[in-house]
Structure 1
Amino acid sequence: MSTLFTLLVEPGFFTSDPVRTALIIGGGAALVSAVIGVFTVMRGQSFAGHGLSDVTSAGGSASFLLGINPLLGFLGMAVMAACGMELVGVRQARERDLVTGIVLGAGLGLTALFLYLDVTLGSTTGAANMVMFGSMFAIAPSTIPLALAVGLLALATAGILYRPLLLCSLDPDLAAVRGVPVRLIGFLHLLTLALAASLSAMTVGAILSTALLIGPAATALRLAKRPGAAMALAALIGLGATWGGILLAYNSFYWTPGHGWPVSFFVVALIFAAYLLATGGRRLGQRGSL
């Protein structure tokens, strides 16, 4: 058993400070993304999650320009984008997608400007790669308290909203008849989605954060029938993919000495593999029941 462990885990993995930071922040982001992601998929707001994730890149790039904690930049831009989407006040899904697309385009335009200024004014040549594709091993340990606070706030809000949000997701008309403030609940969910998007963008990058936010939840909903069970399964998938990706990325430094592979690549690859396995298993089960 110890020999197998040695083969799977290269020396120094558990004693490395960057690895510990990545495990804590990445694990927290995976848990938050799992819970919020299940409701996001159920409500048909995957594109909104994608839009918020990409828009956070503007905040991340601005943080490098201003010299502040990147998570503050990701978080601030995500919350502003969520408020912008809600203030328009549209209800039809097609109109919501249009608004999301407009906000997404504006956010990416700001990202292009801020990244240009990062390079020309601040000489921050690595900003684009870190913002867009993440660099978990480069996250400062001082970010941990803020990341945990954001994660706890998102989970606490999701817990408070669980029952009314579930009813609004399954039958908004019935929720309205029962006196549930459907639009307010939707806005609060959008804000928690912004918190989750900022954490996932911090870990695997703004471009790839949709995979962590939507992938485990979509996979779990293919396998579990109840929302609670889907959240628990999504959390396991997200944690497994994130921690497994960190381990593989660390080990990759020994495959090609001095040139490790990106953590985000492994995380996304593991999530994609889990989704394919769940989809294939479900189809086989349906065929077997015929």
Structure 2
Amino acid sequence: MTGFLPAGLLASEEVRTALLVGGVVAVVSGMVGVLTVLRGQSFAGHALADVGTTGGAGAFLVAIPPLWGFLALSLAGAAAMELIGVQRARSRDLATGVVLGAGLGLAALFLYWDTTVHNTTGAAMVVLFGSIFAIGHAVVAPVIVAAVVAACVVAALYRPLLLCAIHPDLAAARGVPVRTVGAVFLAAMAVTVALSAVTIGSILSTALLVGPAATAIRLTRRPARAMVYAALVGVVAVWGGVVLAYESYRWPPSHHGWPVSFFVVAIVFVAYLAADLPGRGRR
């Protein structure tokens, strides 16, 4: 298999770390993403990712790894959306919009301070578009732990979440605490988008949450199988993006390398389009 990989790829410690972290994040993003799409909360995921931008920018101000800022602000955004009101679709969208606007305003302020007060070069690029090759050893273990926790939450609440997504009134009639289940899932989604922000940046993290899930749902009607497909698509996208970004340093004319986030999003987009081809042929 190594014959198909660029020379020296796996010899690089940064690349091995990127493949490990990216693979873990892709798997949990696929699991959470399928339920996100089925529950109609893609906009909420996008808002949490943008709110996480504030945390990432704030982390640079206090000189801590961006992961902690992404996690803190994404969870805070989920809590704010829940407190404002997410029990109905209309109020949920309104709450999401309010939190999104406030988060982006703070993000703009923090990024301004990063560049003008603290002279932190590259902060905006790292926060918005990620830097998976620069992930330190100290961050690997927390990323894996957070991903496992989010995956376990989704697995434990799988049936109630699915019932609430398909028929919330029936779920309430059967005694399912719909709002509590929704709040816990929102927290798991916040953790997931924060982890995605570490890999491909906050502004693009929704692509890893929603894209593979939407692709998988096009391929199968079974939610459990869709989670497996989404995880596979996400892993292929992230690992393919890492390999292509590594190889792009040799591409003329500049030999500077292309960002991993571009390749990841491009692969996800192509996979989404390709998933619709069998259906188009049948039609």
Secondary structure, counterpart of 1:113 in structure 2: helix
User: Runs of 5+ in structure 1 lacking a partner?
Assistant: none
User: Runs of 5+ in structure 2 lacking a partner?
Assistant: none
Listed one character per residue, the Cα deviations across residues 30-65 of structure 1 (whole Å, up to 9, x for unaligned) are 011100000000000000001101110000010111
Contact 2:85/2:95, CA 8 A, preserved across alignment: no
1: CA distance, partners of 2:46 / 2:58: 20
One-letter identity of the residue aligned with 1:193: M
1: CA distance, partners of 2:196 / 2:271: 18
2: CA distance, partners of 1:20 / 1:251: 14
Is the counterpart of residue 243 in structure 1 residue 239 in structure 2? Answer: yes
Contact 2:14/2:134, CA 8 A, preserved across alignment: yes
Greater Cα offset, 188-197 or 98-107:
98-107
Alignment counterpart, residue 262 of structure 1, candidates 240, 259, 264: 259
One-letter identity of the residue aligned with 1:109: G
Contact 2:71/2:194, CA 8 A, preserved across alignment: yes
- May I ask how many residue pairs the two structures share in their alignment? 282
Greater Cα offset, 267-276 or 157-166:
157-166
Listed one character per residue, the Cα deviations across residues 90-149 of structure 1 (whole Å, up to 9, x for unaligned) are 433222112111111111111111111111222112000010011111111221001001
Contact 1:133/1:207, CA 8 A, preserved across alignment: yes
Q: Offset at 1:280?
A: 2.5
Greater Cα offset, 144-153 or 8-17:
8-17
Alignment counterpart, residue 279 of structure 1, candidates 260, 276, 281: 276
Contact 1:223/1:282, CA 8 A, preserved across alignment: no
Normalised to the residue count of structure 2, the TM-score between the two structures is: 0.97
Contact 1:34/1:235, CA 8 A, preserved across alignment: yes
Instruction: Give the aligned partner of residue 104 of structure 1.
Output: 100
Structure 1 runs (4+) deviating above 3 angstroms are none
Alignment counterpart, residue 181 of structure 1, candidates 177, 184, 187: 177
One-letter identity of the residue aligned with 2:261: S
Is the counterpart of residue 198 in structure 1 residue 194 in structure 2? Answer: yes
RMSD: 1.2
Listed one character per residue, the Cα deviations across residues 246-286 of structure 1 (whole Å, up to 9, x for unaligned) are 0000000111364000000000000000000112222223x
Greater Cα offset, 253-262 or 159-168:
253-262
Secondary structure, counterpart of 2:276 in structure 1: helix
State the percentage of identical aligned residues: 55
Alignment counterpart, residue 72 of structure 1, candidates 48, 68, 71: 68
Contact 2:49/2:205, CA 8 A, preserved across alignment: yes
Instruction: Give the aligned partner of residue 223 of structure 1.
Output: 219
Normalised to the residue count of structure 1, the TM-score between the two structures is: 0.95
